[in-house]
Amino acid sequence: MNRHRMMSSSLKKMQSGVISRDKVHIEKLALQAIIGPDSWNRVTPQECNISLEMATDFEKASRSDELKYSLNYAVISKDISHFVNPRQNYKSLGLLAERVLHHIKDGYPGIQSLALKAQAGDAHIRSDGVSVVVHAPASEQTPDQLVISNLKLLTLIGVFTFERLQKQYVTIDINMPWMRQPEGNVEYRDVIDSVVSFVESSNFKTVEALVDSVAQIVTQQDYFTNHPDAPVIVKVIKLNAITATRGVGVSCTRTKKDFLGKPLLEVNSSSAQLGNASFNLPVSRSAQTASSSSMNVAYLAFGSNVGDRTSNIQCAIDSLNAHKDLHVTKVSSIFESEPMYFQNQRLFLNGCIEVKTLLSPQELLKLCKKIEYEELKRVKEFDNGPRSIDLDIILYKTEDGANVVLTTDDLIIPHPRLLERSFVLEPLCELISFSEVHPVTAEPIIEHLNQIYEQERDEDVLCKVIPLPRIGGKDRFLKFKNKPIRDSVTGRFSTQTISSTYTMGILNTTPDSFSDGGLLSDNLDMQVERIRVIVQEVLKLSEQVIIDIGGCSTRPNSEQASQQQELERTIPLIKKIRSDKTIPHEKVILSIDTYRAGIAKLAIEAGVDLVNDISGGQFDADMFAVLAEHPNVGYIMSHTRGDTSTMTKLTKYSDAEAEENTIEYVYGHEERGEDTVLVRNIGRELAQQYAKAVEVGVKRWQIVLDPGVGFAKHSMQNLEAIKGINVLKNYSLARDQHFIHFRNLPVLVGPSRKKFIGKITGDETAADRDFTTGTVAGACVGFGADIVRVHDTKNCVKSIRMADALYRQTL
């Protein structure tokens, strides 16, 4: 047989110990050989291929362009094909590789070093290929290796509900040492069988846990008992996990020493060690356990769809607060949602609660069940059925902020259905930081909510509701529906309001109102008749109407009526309206326009549903306490500065007013745009009052924001405030670990007949501004307003209705 002999330059370099930077390659030379049992356990010739990487020196060949000065890969390929006898039993793939390695290295002195890879595609039915990589000369820097490639398995892996419904494919590559002595080698069939049995009977949250477990299974082979430092490299790819990729995954390098002190993994029974291989997330008891002597933090989800749902929720909150070892610290807005799993039942009211407690998770669970079944008489006929109240623990943290993660027969934390439910995630995101991560997925919880919204399912679009006093035993609410939309350019989520806009009609009983002072101030019958007209005008085009009754002018520089005067102008009227049987009271929402807590209290007792406070709680320190006593009464929190005598001098808004330790967000993203300086100042100042209100006990579900058009703002600032409605309703503030998230908080705007309109149009008389007010009202709808307060209800309700059709497609 002719073999190519290298010339003197190569030999000299070899003799001097210098290894060339040049290499000649042969990739996957196809041949047949008997290398032991095939994937069907038959001892027959198998398809194999040989790849070679040969270090040499072809400097002279490259300069002279003469092949005789290099390695002739055609000759070497033919040589290997003749050398390997398809009928000879080489016993194993490794022995075949060694035989070919020595044959080529000994026969071609021009090869300075050689790496040879022998691969068999049919070595095992579960793998795309098993390879042995051997080297000449052998060295510690280039150890021989056994490689198991593309082992394709089915397993339960992931944290999302849809991932727990069925197994999914992963691929596994395993790389481990190969010994030249056959008796010392790992039997790759044993390795593959063990890994397959283990993985396909196991249940994993993360690819990281899977890859580490596979490495441990491999190092439990007998070979590693005598070689505890031998490295095993495992790579796991989760197929089709991320759109536009074939797959994503991780790899690790481990030795047997890395698993010292850990229990052996048992093939076919591993699920008992890693958690329950069922629908629920595979979590185990965390090392972080709650202490009965420390104040831990828990988040509860509530839901009700039986009886007086609002009362059920409030009773549950009161019962939690009554426990000596628990204090309710935050309560979310209330959301109306479609029932899940069993659809043929009443709509639910849902939300979340934050509590601080000395109770352990199991003790807290017992308390929740006691409130459900003993105090609120819940009757559970079947899972996911109707209920008076449902209290679920969704997250639990120790006093130092560490998440408790556990699985018991009756309690799993975090709640296993948390990630599939917008009606839990949405209220939860009102109570936690945007950076808060899910303790299992390690992703921000807000991103899980965004991922739900990306699916664009109708049932995930929620109605935020403000509960109102019942009339005739029937529920009454203000409802606000917003659809989250991701911007295709920025990737940020914003919201599109899709519910109809409420029209609030104004009824002033003051003799000095800036627009209609004295017209109805002394005659109750005329005032009630005006109410009837407003109701008739608005209900032609809307399902509900709001009427705002004011007895004290709040225009800039106005002389303020006394509390007694305000009382005499408003309370008798409210009582007369509520006693009038010609008015459809279930559709008529009464509002009292006052900044006085005493008037608000009397008005609530007389039958109002809303308190419209132009001071946002700044003029009367008792206002928030009154509202806290009446959680089924809404509160319109308006922005202003100073008082009626000073507000016109306080129109300078500077971004420098933000404190250094304050972070502001819009739609969950840190915001610093120059075009929102005014709106951020409004948001920041409202957030301060909002925090005070919630601290006193006012519920988030009660609050509506008002940017305060006409109060402490000059003409152009009023326009800017209107244009920033959507920014305001999604404004959030983080300061010293305290978080205030408005998150689609409803917004009322009151532009009617205001001076800034007259300054633009030249209409000096307030009553002449009605036509333009209709235009502004429509614009407010376009910018995201949920309630528009107007004098001319007959025409403005038409403008609002048309704007709804244009901007919200509500017809």
Of 594, 616, 624, 628, nearest in space to 704 by CA: 616
- Find the helix or strand (DSSP H, E) in which 302 lies: strand 296-304
DSSP character for 19? P
pLDDT band at 381; cut points 50, 70, 90? low
Query: pLDDT tens digits for 197-219?
Result: 999 888 887 889 999 999 999 99
90, 96 in Cβ contact below 8 A? yes
Q: Mind listing the pLDDT tens digit for each residue in 578-630? A: 999 999 999 999 999 999 999 999 999 999 999 999 999 999 999 999 999 99
Does 192 or 180 have the greater pLDDT score? Answer: 192
DSSP for 511-568, written as a single string: TT-TTTTTSSSS-HHHHHHHHHHHHHHHHTT-S-EEEEEESS--STTPPPPPHHHHHH
pLDDT for res 19: 58
Instruction: Name residues whose C-beta falls within 8 Å of residue 804's C-beta, 6 or more positions apart in sequence.
Output: 500, 501, 781, 810, 811
In this prediction the pTM is: 0.75
| Domains of the chain, each with CATH number or no CATH | 1-142 (3.30.1130.10), 152-282 (3.30.1130.10), 296-465 (3.30.70.560), 500-807 (3.20.20.20)
Q: Give one DSSP letter per residue of 97-144, joined into a string.
A: HHHHHHHHHHH-TT-SEEEEEEEETTS-TTEEEEEEEEEES--SSS--
| pLDDT recorded at residue 559 | 84
Contact by Cβ (8 Å): 335, 349: yes
Structure tokens of 612?
């419209």
Q: What would the pLDDT profile of 327-361 be if each residue is shown by its tens digit?
A: 999 999 999 988 766 666 789 999 999 999 999 99
C-alpha to C-alpha distance for 492 and 281, rounded to whole angstroms: 29
Distance CA 276, CA 164 (A): 11
